[in-house]
Structure 1
Amino acid sequence: MILPQRLHRLVPLILAALLALVFVPALPGTARAAGTGYWHTDGRRLLDANGQQVRMTGINWFGAETSNYTPHGLWTRNYKDMIDQIKDLGYNTLRLPYSNELLDSGSTPNGIDYTENPGLSGLNGLQILDEIIEYAGEAGLKVVLDRHRPGAAGQSALWYTDAYPESRWISDWTMLAEHYAGNTTVIGADLHNEPHEPACWGCGDQARDWRLAAERAGNAVLDANPDWLIIVEGVDSYENDPYWWGGNLQGAARYPVRLDVPGRLVYSAHDYATSVHRQPWFDDPAFPSNLAAIWDRNWGYLHKNDVAPVLLGEFGTTLTDPRDQTWLRTLMAYLGEGAGGISFTFWSWNPNSGDTGGILNGDWTTVDTGKQSYLDPYLLGAGDPGGGDPGTPGVSCEVGYAVQSSWDGGFNAQVTITNTGSAAVDGWTLAFAFPGDQRISQGWSATWSQDGDDVAATSLDWNDALAPGASLTIGFSATGPSAAAPAAFDLNDQPCEV
């Protein structure tokens, strides 16, 4: 993780120049959660075809990657009923795993009650996916395709096996990109699920370097369909720092994925609870306050530093262990509310995931309401204007800006941020634009960056949380005229009173 050291400075109060107060009404998010058309990226933001900010708040429906060659549960329910239920619960995205074996001519879908699903009779695996995707689009959902396994028997550490070489992996992806070209329901390709050792990131070995393989496949996909998002998971270990399979994106800081089409890269991580594996951080006496730094180091920094969007593609738990309940509550707060939060697809819809269970109970019909309640405040359902479920508080904020001292050619300024909402802000970025030729030379109590006139200040570990009614102060030194003040400030992409 590359973050500047904290700067603790005492700024001399030579001249207090309080600026006129300007009221900017706090508006609700304007992004339709399911978005319009294809999506693209701008820094850490996902934008739809109209330039509105969007976010995946979705779920995994697995099974097509197995020897059933179709999403599970069709042995007892109609697929349209399940999609309707997913939509009604507030999810806006389906992550659909598949295997390359599904595309083999001899792979016949099975485990389907054709009385419940008469329209699927006689279809092959890809045709069944077509039907599911078509109805998902009608329901207002987006779909991400996840190449979960090469063969149906199990996952692979590398993106290829003897039976399914790299050439097949890439050719199947380009076929799917062409097959769904023009279908704006399908917005992206999760290239390979959970790369892990011997996979590496940035080692330069063509047979093991996942970053280089992701570039080869990603650019081939974009050549076939330049509208898709290319979703690249991490590895499990970088410079001897181990993490979850697919969850370690530390190497992207030094070795970013390079795609031929700008605005298409999304990084993706996986993160799990003790029901999957009892990682050492769950037994740390500092748990759960230690979690944010771990997430920052492995994948969260990409979002916080405005590098690229992050999709938490898998996370799940049985919630049996009390630590898992704390983990899930802490993780959701870390991902954040509203359209400006980190995208996610929960694992899983299915109740038959052995180490996590699912949102559905074992009857494949009723909902595990306890588990669903952890996700409810963060879901941006199809057609939701961006603030989560009705009544869920969004970001509401007030900013005070004051020039504390000035001199010929420069000045010091202090910015006070107040959370005027009813919900805590866990992780924040304050954004504003200078109206003149000011340039920040140094800053304190935040990670400061500037691109042209646009400035961003991102929270540090020690001031990451901002409780309702709480305030914090950050500051900077800049060159240029002090009299020209920013007219507006956004906190986590929501306008603040100034």
Structure 2
Amino acid sequence: MFRSLRRALCVAVAAFLLPLAGVQPAGAAGPGDGTATGATADTATTRAAAAGEGYWHTSGRKILDAAGQPVRIAGINWFGFETDVRVAHGLWARDYKGMLDQIKSLGYNTVRVPYSDDILKPGALPGSINHDGINTDLRGLTSLQVLDRIVAHAGRAGLKIVLDRHRPDAAAQSALWYTDAVPESTWITNLKALAARYKGDSTVIGIDPHNEPRDPACWGCGDTARDWRLAAERAGNAVLSVNPELLVFVEGVQSHNGVNGWWGGNLMGVAEHPVRLDVPGRLVYSAHDYATSVAQQPWFNDPSFPANMPGIWDKYWGYVFKQNIAPVWLGEFGTTLQSGVDQRWLSALVSYLRSTSQHGADGFHWTFWSWNPNSGDTGGILKDDWTTVDTVKDGYLADIKAPGFAAGDPGGPGNPGDPGGPGDPGDTAECAAAYTVSSDWGGGFNADVKVTNTGTVPLTSWKVTWTWNGAQRVTSMWNASYTQSGATVTAVNAGHNGALAAGASTSLGFGGAPGGGSVPSVMCTAT
């Protein structure tokens, strides 16, 4: 949502930083320090037979691979082809092969690649690629030919690709799927061209026909000029007429029957007006969801936040999955993680996505926004040098990455590695915890538990335990996982906050009900 603001920041930062990198910008680009970091060792380029092979199809709420095994998209957005450089961002600083290998090594299995129709214009050329010792094989190629190279290496690395028609042209997103300059006929022609271009290459598993439909787009209203559900059917069937093996990822709209949500994030209309495609087993619904770093929404100010969020997500898009209507893919979600609200939002969302997953495959699908650091209102998994991983942000996602499918090398770039044991004999691993109620409205409450390493050696993990003297129960928890037996709760660190240096602190938060209880004593155990 509000992606125009996001892109504007990308352009402003790029205009300053690209000349410093020795690469002349061709329109919009992002930050980079000009360091030519070559490709990582080509350890991820041999595909092994595993779940995820071949083209994918759907059955109820599941996505299945060619062998009928359940698979789950756990991926990342790498943007740039939709901007006026007409190519994935960051190639002024990194080799594209190293970039893809790093994505794989971190445990992501799919890359959503936004593009604009401009890259399909004859002779469309990319800008802002460093060919000096890196990306040498991209010299002289068109934007589509560079996309071909990215798809080819992604396939060798065991990654899947979803193509996302993000903009009709490089200037801006559009509310509807067509504009005066790019009519519906051009939109469909270009979708079919891409479907044909990658036919037979199961690395490209599907197409997202239009990014973030918003007002005046409607769902099920019957007006062919505004009804996104009908347009998605026309586009999806056109794609499948060329390649019937592809998945068609259909986003929601902004508002339905007066209920407003995120751009592309409202799938409430599916209940009465489902998308109808000519080829069965090819439809996946998609939603977008963001935090306050993108925009405010009324649910962030609810006194029960974030305990209210599962109900919000169920209403807008989660019900489609839970009622076994079709698979649901959270195609974009992200945040800068700068505010406490955003931290609680992301933790609650990850818990929500994880709660639906059975055996690592039957669950919501997702691609995080974004890989790029130069997304103005979210930042990315990479930091501004285009190499260093934001391990805190990546850590939030650790519990929902798909096990068993395209598993990466845990020693890959940006991974912190094993922090080791608690220390030499004689060192002590100790921690303390403090419980604080942040809000109480009678029917429920929110509380935080601060955990501090009070020992002399780093911690690798911790758990806290408390017992209420009333009937309180945890309704949701962020930054930890928990079990509750009677009045006793045990919370264990999440993947991103278990390691604590001596003297360092972290915290978990939770919602509970009913309110009005006394503050219990908390015991912390360090490991």
Q: TM-score, normalised by structure 1?
A: 0.71
* Deviation at residue 384 of structure 1 after TM alignment: 3.6
Matched, 1:355 2:385: no
Q: Which one of 265, 287, 292 corresponds to residue 305 of structure 2?
A: 287
Matched, 1:100 2:117: yes
2:485 and 2:176 map into 1 onto residues whose CA distance is 47
- The 1:34–1:278 alpha-carbon spacing in structure 2 relative to 1, beyond 3 Å, is farther
Counterpart residue number, 1:82? 99
Q: Which one of 332, 335, 344 corresponds to residue 326 of structure 1?
A: 344
**Partner SS for 1:143:** strand
2:385 and 2:193 map into 1 onto residues whose CA distance is 36
Deviations 1:365-400 (A, max 9, x none): 100111011011211264349xxx999xxxxxxxxx
Q: Give the conservation status (yes or no) of the 8 Å contact 2:72–2:363.
A: yes
Counterpart residue number, 2:68? 51
- The 1:147–1:109 alpha-carbon spacing in structure 2 relative to 1, beyond 3 Å, is same
The CA RMSD measured in Å over matched residues stands at 2.5
Counterpart residue number, 2:34? none
Number of equivalenced pairs: 371
- Code of the aligned partner of 2:387: T
Counterpart residue number, 2:200? 182
* Deviation at residue 463 of structure 1 after TM alignment: 11
Counterpart residue number, 2:209? 191
Counterpart residue number, 2:389? 367
Counterpart residue number, 2:163? 145
Q: Give the conservation status (yes or no) of the 8 Å contact 2:348–2:476.
A: no
Q: Give the conservation status (yes or no) of the 8 Å contact 2:117–2:190.
A: yes
Counterpart residue number, 1:23? none
Q: Which one of 283, 291, 310 corresponds to residue 273 of structure 1?
A: 291
* Deviation at residue 285 of structure 1 after TM alignment: 0.1
* Deviation at residue 73 of structure 1 after TM alignment: 0.1
Percent identity of paired positions between Structure 1 and Structure 2: 61
2:71 and 2:402 map into 1 onto residues whose CA distance is 9
Matched, 1:37 2:54: yes
Matched, 1:311 2:329: yes
- The 1:319–1:229 alpha-carbon spacing in structure 2 relative to 1, beyond 3 Å, is same
1:318 and 1:34 map into 2 onto residues whose CA distance is 33
1:206 and 1:106 map into 2 onto residues whose CA distance is 33
Q: Which one of 314, 337, 361 corresponds to residue 296 of structure 1?
A: 314
**Partner SS for 2:113:** strand
Q: Which one of 240, 254, 258 corresponds to residue 222 of structure 1?
A: 240
Counterpart residue number, 1:117? 135
- Code of the aligned partner of 1:226: P
2:407 and 2:70 map into 1 onto residues whose CA distance is 13
**Partner SS for 1:315:** strand
- Code of the aligned partner of 2:350: M
**What are the equivalent positions in structure 2 for 1:447-466 lying under 5 Å apart?**
none
* Deviation at residue 220 of structure 1 after TM alignment: 0.7
**Partner SS for 2:393:** helix
Q: Please, which runs of 5 or more residues in structure 2 have no aligned partner?
A: 1-48, 409-414, 419-462, 464-473, 487-527
Q: Give the conservation status (yes or no) of the 8 Å contact 1:38–1:49.
A: yes
- The 1:33–1:464 alpha-carbon spacing in structure 2 relative to 1, beyond 3 Å, is farther
1:110 and 1:242 map into 2 onto residues whose CA distance is 38
Q: Give the conservation status (yes or no) of the 8 Å contact 1:33–1:380.
A: no
Matched, 1:167 2:185: yes
- The 1:198–1:33 alpha-carbon spacing in structure 2 relative to 1, beyond 3 Å, is farther
**Partner SS for 2:384:** coil
- Code of the aligned partner of 1:288: P
Q: Please, which runs of 5 or more residues in structure 1 have no aligned partner?
A: 1-31, 392-422, 424-460, 472-498
Counterpart residue number, 1:377? 399
- Code of the aligned partner of 1:51: G
Q: Which has the higher contact order (CA 8 A, sep 6+)?
A: 1
2:313 and 2:51 map into 1 onto residues whose CA distance is 26
- Code of the aligned partner of 1:117: N
More moved, 461-470 vs 53-62: 461-470
Deviations 1:43-76 (A, max 9, x none): 0000000000000000000000001110000001
Deviations 1:332-383 (A, max 9, x none): 1111142122000000000000000000000101001110110112112643
- Code of the aligned partner of 2:326: A
Q: Give the conservation status (yes or no) of the 8 Å contact 1:157–1:194.
A: yes
* Deviation at residue 105 of structure 1 after TM alignment: 2.0
Deviations 1:132-157 (A, max 9, x none): 00000000000000000000011000
1:155 and 1:51 map into 2 onto residues whose CA distance is 37
Q: Give the conservation status (yes or no) of the 8 Å contact 1:34–1:141.
A: no
**What are the equivalent positions in structure 2 for 1:359-438 lying under 5 Å apart?**
359-380=381-402, 382-384=405-407
